[in-house]
Amino acid sequence: MSDNEKNFLQIVDLKKGYGAGETRQEVLRGMNFSVAKGEICVLLGPSGSGKSTLLNIIGGIDNADGGYISIGGDKLQDMSEKRLTQYRRKHLGYVFQLYNLIGNLNVKENIETGAYLSDAPLDIDELLHTLGLYEHRYKLPNQLSGGQQQRVSIGRAIVKNPDILLCDEPTGALDYATSKEILKLIEDINQKYGNTVVMVTHNEAIRGMADHVVKLRDGQVRSNERNDRKISAADLEW
């Protein structure tokens, strides 16, 4: 693995705060770490540790106050609004805790919203099979269970085969069994398509499936380590 691949995603002295004056709160206080291309990186931390803010800045939907993020050598701070959009369009897939599906589009159409953005999208029917949603492809999101909705969300993110898949508490709203199914799906996708996965969670157990675990607290990196005892998502327990 080249240095570029090792430092595919670089977070350098990243700072972010909200509010002003006495009410100002520093959420990220100079964060540093890198994520290698194709690995699953799990960001662990309690509420308020800054993990979602970090994910939003990586996703280009929020700005840092200091430091920078680079992806494949490109610094997000240097990008114009238009380039940032292109960056999200070409390189990122996003999976949210609450799925964020478009309610008036059916399963297939929600996935097509992602496919439209790619010059070489994955085959949607094949992906629907992979996701186990083929039979549900004409259903609206509100006709699906939480797990099924999250699968659609993953499908929408992955259909354009992004370089990085950002997952913000993807199992946060799901039950145990469904959560494991979703994690397994993410793992399978990572293995099948080789996307870099950055997953934010407060569930310590999920670290087991990660290649790389970063623990955050109070806006800082408390630990940044490789997981040498990686296990399959199917074997995770909590």
Q: Which residues of the chain form contacts with other proteins (CB under 8 A)?
A: 52, 56, 59-62, 82, 85-90, 92, 94, 96, 98-106, 109, 112-117, 138-143, 156, 168
Token reading at 137: 């492809």
Nearest distance from C-beta of residue 147 to other proteins, angstroms: 15
Residue 8 or residue 99: which is nearer to other proteins going by CB? 99
Residue 21 or residue 103: which is nearer to other proteins going by CB? 103
Nearest distance from C-beta of residue 62 to other proteins, angstroms: 7
Contact predicate 105/79, CB 8 Å = no
| Beta-bridge partners for 205 | none
Residue 92 or residue 209: which is nearer to other proteins going by CB? 92
Sign of the dihedral through C-alpha 176, 179, 181, 184: negative
Nearest distance from C-beta of residue 139 to other proteins, angstroms: 7
Nearest distance from C-beta of residue 7 to other proteins, angstroms: 24
Residue 9 or residue 158: which is nearer to other proteins going by CB? 158
User: How far apart are alpha carbons 37 and 9 in whole angstroms?
Assistant: 7
DSSP type of residue 141:
G
Residue 86 or residue 227: which is nearer to other proteins going by CB? 86
Let me know if 38 is exposed, middle or buried by CB neighbors in 10 A (0-12, 13-18, 19+).
middle
Minimal CA–CA distance to 165: which of 157, 155, 175, 177? 157
Helix %, strand %, coil % for the chain, to 5?
Answer: 40, 25, 35
Nearest distance from C-beta of residue 87 to other proteins, angstroms: 8
